[in-house]
Amino acid sequence: MRSDFGTTSKGEKAALYTLKNSNGMEAAVSDYGAVLVKVLVPDREGKLRDVVLGYDDVSGYEAGTLYFGETVGRVANRIGGGSFELNGRTYGLTQNDGSNTLHGGRDYYGKRMWTAEEADDSHVTFMLRSTDGDQGFPGASDIRVTYTLTQENEVKIHYHAVPEADTLLNLTNHSYFNLSGHASGLALDQEVMINADAYTEADAQSIPTGNVIPVEGTPMDFRKAKTVGQEIESDYEALIFGQGYDHNWVLNGSGYRQAASMYSKKTGIEMKVYTDLPGMQFYTGNFIVEEAGKEGAVYKKRQAVCFESQYFPDAVHKERFAGPVVRAGEVYDTTTVYQFGRR
C-alpha cells in the first residue's frame, strides 16, 4: 500500500510503502533514503509493537543526523583520512567524521529521493542512479535495494549493483532496534548474541588498526547471549573509545548464515540477523542525545541498537581485510535479513 509521506524542502513528494504478511506483521519503507520507517511485530500477547526508531514523515528524515533506518552508501562505516587509492589513482572524499569519511560522506544516500521501480504488498524495489564521481567515488552505477516482508516474518534487504568502472561498494541498513518498542526507553536489558570469535581493534577515531582481537575473556564476547548493559560500562579500551559498543565484529563462517540475535523478555519478541557479509557493526546508540521521533517519542542514549552488516571499516586501506572493491561489470549482490519471532 502506497501513502503520502510528506514533502521535502526541495518540493519532492515522498511516499510510504506498507508491506504486510498473513501473520500480522507489517513493515513500512520510504522512497526518501530507501529508509525502513516501521517494523510492526506481534508480541507474546499478540499486540503489535513498532520495534525500530524513526520519524513520522519525510521532514524528520531530512533533518535527522542519526541515520535512522537509512540505506547507507556508497561505502558504509569509515574510510580513514577521507581518501583512498585504486588502480594507482587517489580519490578524495568529503570528510564528515573528523578527518575521516563516514557512511559515504556529507552527501549520503539516506538524504536522496530513490525511484520505486516496483512494489506490491510484500516487496518494493528502490533504485538510485549514482554517477561517476558521486561522493568522490569512481564508476557510475544503478544501485537497487529491495525490501521484502516474507511469510517467515523476515524483513529481507537485498542490495544489487553493477558498476561501470572499478569502484568501492559497501551498502548497509542503519536501523535502530528496540524489541520492547521504539518508545519503551533503554534497550540495555535486552539480550544479544553475536556469532563472532573476534572483533577489529580500532583507534580513538574508530579507524581499525588492522589488528583482529579475540573476544575471549573481554566484554566484547557475545557468543553466549547476554544483556546489552551487562558489561557496557567496563573499563576496557574499546568501550571507552566507543563510549559503549560501536565496533565491527568478525563474523564466524562464510556465506549466508546467522550473525546475531536479540531478545526482549518484556515483550517476548526475538530477532535473528542473517547476512552473507564478513562483518557486522554492533552499535548501542551511544550518540543519541534527545531526538524527537515517531508518535511524540523522545529517543535517548542507548535506547536502541544497530546490527549493520558490512565489509570491515577502512578495508580499502587494510590488506588483510576483505575489501569492498568491485570491478567494472562485476555484480555486487548481498542480502541481510532481520527475522522476527516470539518466545
On whether the CB atoms of residues 68 and 55 are closer than 8 A, the answer is yes
pLDDT (tens digit, 9 = 90+) per residue, 173-217? 999 999 999 999 999 999 999 999 999 999 999 999 999 999 999
What is the domain-level CATH number for residue 176?
2.70.98.10
Marked catalytic residue, from 154, 191, 291, 308:
308
Q: What is the pLDDT of residues 5-54, one digit of tens each?
A: 999 999 999 999 999 999 999 999 999 999 999 999 999 999 999 999 99
pTM of the predicted model as reported, rounded to 2 decimal places: 0.97
Which domain range does residue 32 map to?
Answer: 2-342
Walking along the chain (343 residues) 10 residues at a time, the average pLDDT comes out as 97 98 97 98 97 98 97 96 96 94 92 97 98 97 98 98 98 98 98 98 93 98 98 98 97 98 98 98 97 98 98 94 94 98 94
247 as an active site residue: the answer is no
Please confirm, yes or no, whether 174 is among the known catalytic residues: yes
Of the residues 174, 182, 191, 247, which is catalytic? 174
Q: How many domains does the chain have?
A: 1
